[in-house]
Structure 1
Amino acid sequence: MSTLIKPIDYKQLLDAKQTEQGIKLIKDFFQQNLSTELRLRRVTAPLFVLKGLGINDDLNGVERAVTFPIKDLGDARAEVVHSLAKWKRLSLAENGVEPGYGIYTDMNAIRADEELDNLHSLYVDQWDWEAVITKEDRTIAFLKNIVERIYAAIRRTEYLVCETYSQIKPFLPEKIHFIHSEELLAMYPDMTPKEREDAICKKYGAVFLIGIGGKLANGEKHDGRAPDYDDWSTIAEDGRAGLNGDILIWYPVLGRSFELSSMGIRVDKEALLRQLKIENQEQRLDLYFHRQLMSDKLPLSIGGGIGQSRLCMVMLQKAHIGEIQASIWPEDMRQKCLELGMPLI
């Protein structure tokens, strides 16, 4: 069986009908708040893109995209997106979006190589968002301000859910704590990255972990990031590398840290060249997306993804993401979840 966290004394707080109503409530409310908070307008996004253009998100660089041939294009192959990290930046340029404004969309993906557990599914749905910024905005201070505004929208959503369903009690802290992955390593040098995340989230309740993708003092990465969207190598004003990070919370239902969002200031030309060299992937410079960026045809931007099913899972205090979304699960996991009181859709 794939990894399954077995929560102690878990009991669903909402029945199936209330859960479906709650999902709609959360999605409608949060996306409107996100749009207003960051001045984003909704756009329509693709489910798949042509292979070989460098547009698809490569995640950690090892996950295989789902591909298929297109009959009317001479069997040219398309890829189901992993996320829209790079496509959104092309869309900003195409639509002539001005600094201080941006776009968001419903992103649906299939990640066939995902290791299935309480938080990870073959089906990924998130609000992908991207906003145009200026050169002066490429700072840790600007990044933190955006994180605080997103976190405020998350807490407003929690308040609405708790007002709607009295059996659900709030647990998110008022403030989100900022820490760099290098600081976190220094605090917990003998722990794995996941153990460090658990420790810091249990301490503060909500954390934005800065600087993910580059190697730390111990010669290892906290986690992987593709080299061609988030800027994880620029030395920021605090003297540490990284203008990106993850929004993490402590989730009491599962007794572990829980990632709600991955986001960051995107690479400029210098950061792209530097990160491709670090990862020995300079051949990507021949791809369409990278040529556009190197030719100054793409705006500077900040962006990220916020998990829709994950946010609903947390807001409705579910123990498995399969209680929120319809996907495919190993039969033994489905049966075990049923026994544990968390039936999967």
Structure 2
Amino acid sequence: MEKTIIPKDYQSTLNVYDTQTAIGFIKRCFEEALTGSLKLKRVSAPLFVDERSGLNDNLSGTERPVTFDVPALRDNGEVVHSLAKWKRVALKDYDFHSGNGLYADMNAIRRDEELDNLHSLYVDQWDWERVITKEQRTIEYLKETVQGLVNAMAETSSRLHTKYPSIKTSIDTNVAFITSQELADLYPDLTSKEREHAFVKEHPTTFILQIGDVLNHGEPHDNRAPDYDDWALNGDLLFWHDTLDCAMELSSMGIRVDSDALMDQLEKANAKDRLVYLYHQQVLNNELPLTIGGGIGQSRMCMLLLEKAHIGEVQVSLWDEETINACQNKIFLL
């Protein structure tokens, strides 16, 4: 999409004061629904980790974490990108067992993020993780979990509409599941983002399965770190955002790598150097529980449910001059 899109005749459904109240309402409602649906307990989340731990999320592998020196440790800390790996270690350390899990209110800085209507330097998300059995490492179980998450969103949307009748957004609970290869076969002449737009426009709640591995045309649908999601058992949850007339990714999630998947994906990604980290050794030695988990964007959920055109309407961040000028007198950036 373009740098900053201003929808024709756009006007926020709620004023700034009501928007702030509604954001808090959405977050409370969704946390209640999510914890009930997936049996999760809230835990405290780290803002930073030791750069030597290997626990930070490498995302697509090109993003630079915010790093700072810690004189007391004679080493560096890294602001987290997400808690993808940390959560799995926490489940072991906190003695969680199969069928139960945790979630954390995570805040992060992604310094290299492109700035547009959907992307910001500041990331706030619910990071969640749940212990599973070996038998649950299946596409069917992944789909069941996705449905539970979507149901929690629909419940939140319904409660929001009751409180603010002027909000018309509703969540379609009929999830369309499609693999990234099937999507590429369906739209062979489109880019991955164009494929998402075309499919989600027809299927407003979509889960794209199996992201990270190379497709038949020689490229992955999207880059995905090789050391937390199993590329055969993961995916992205997208919704159609009427205000911007586009597909919006709200969650990336998946069943996590076991020892076999980790070695296979590290080799494919030419990233076997990561085996020096304790986390990777614990996965290889089967010392960590098998899990499923993901992140759910808080600001993006608020954007979607509150019919907002820019993520800066629901979170405070830093914006470049071009964005500020484009939004002036049209979109109120917090």
Question: Hey, what's the Cα distance between the residues in 1 that align with 2:321 and 2:19?
Answer: 23
Amino acid at match of 1:172: I
Match for residue 342 of structure 1?
A: 331
1:332 to 301, 318, 322: 322
Question: Hey, what's the Cα distance between the residues in 2 that align with 1:47 and 1:121?
Answer: 17
Question: Hey, what's the Cα distance between the residues in 1 that align with 2:173 and 2:216?
Answer: 32
Question: Hey, what's the Cα distance between the residues in 1 that align with 2:67 and 2:148?
Answer: 37
8 Å contact 2:158–2:170 — kept in the other structure? no
8 Å contact 1:68–1:77 — kept in the other structure? yes
Q: Cα distance, 1:162 vs. partner?
A: 1.1
Q: Cα distance, 1:6 vs. partner?
A: 2.2
Amino acid at match of 1:91: A
Q: Cα distance, 1:335 vs. partner?
A: 2.4
Give the match's secondary structure for 2:172. coil
Match for residue 155 of structure 2?
A: 156
> Between Structure 1 and Structure 2, how many residues are aligned?
333
Amino acid at match of 2:73: L
C-alpha offsets along residues 168-190 of structure 1, whole Å, 9 cap, x if unaligned? 11343231111111110111000
8 Å contact 1:208–1:248 — kept in the other structure? yes
8 Å contact 2:204–2:240 — kept in the other structure? yes
Match for residue 294 of structure 1?
A: 284
Match for residue 168 of structure 1?
A: 167
Question: Hey, what's the Cα distance between the residues in 2 that align with 1:31 and 1:174?
Answer: 18
Superposition RMSD in Å: 0.9
Question: Hey, what's the Cα distance between the residues in 1 that align with 2:170 and 2:181?
Answer: 28
Amino acid at match of 2:247: S
Question: Hey, what's the Cα distance between the residues in 2 that align with 1:118 and 1:286?
Answer: 39
Amino acid at match of 1:276: L
Q: Cα distance, 1:208 vs. partner?
A: 0.3
C-alpha offsets along residues 58-86 of structure 1, whole Å, 9 cap, x if unaligned? 00000000000001112x00000000000
Match for residue 245 of structure 1?
A: 235
Q: Cα distance, 1:219 vs. partner?
A: 0.6
User: Is there any run of 5+ residues in structure 1 with no aligned partner, and where?
Assistant: 233-241
Match for residue 70 of structure 1?
A: 70
8 Å contact 1:159–1:170 — kept in the other structure? no
Q: Cα distance, 1:338 vs. partner?
A: 2.2
2:4 counterpart of 1:4: yes
User: Is there any run of 5+ residues in structure 2 with no aligned partner, and where?
Assistant: none
C-alpha offsets along residues 90-149 of structure 1, whole Å, 9 cap, x if unaligned? 000001101000000001000000000001000000000000000000000000000000
What is the TM-score when the length of structure 1 is the normalising length?
Answer: 0.95
Question: Hey, what's the Cα distance between the residues in 1 that align with 2:328 and 2:308?
Answer: 13
C-alpha offsets along residues 174-217 of structure 1, whole Å, 9 cap, x if unaligned? 31111111110111000000000001100111100001000111
Question: Hey, what's the Cα distance between the residues in 2 that align with 1:344 and 1:330?
Answer: 12
Amino acid at match of 1:50: D
Match for residue 44 of structure 2?
A: 44
Question: Hey, what's the Cα distance between the residues in 1 that align with 2:134 and 2:284?
Answer: 16
Residue identity (%): 51
Amino acid at match of 1:156: E
**1:1-345 residue pairs with structure 2 within 5 A?**
3-74=3-74, 76-232=75-231, 242-339=232-329, 341-345=330-334
Question: Hey, what's the Cα distance between the residues in 2 that align with 1:174 and 1:288?
Answer: 40
Question: Hey, what's the Cα distance between the residues in 2 that align with 1:46 and 1:202?
Answer: 37
Structure 1 runs of 4+ aligned residues shifted over 6 Å read none
8 Å contact 1:207–1:247 — kept in the other structure? yes
8 Å contact 1:66–1:80 — kept in the other structure? yes
Question: Hey, what's the Cα distance between the residues in 1 that align with 2:272 and 2:263?
Answer: 7
Question: Hey, what's the Cα distance between the residues in 1 that align with 2:275 and 2:73?
Answer: 25
C-alpha offsets along residues 148-168 of structure 1, whole Å, 9 cap, x if unaligned? 000001111111111111111
What is the TM-score when the length of structure 2 is the normalising length?
Answer: 0.98
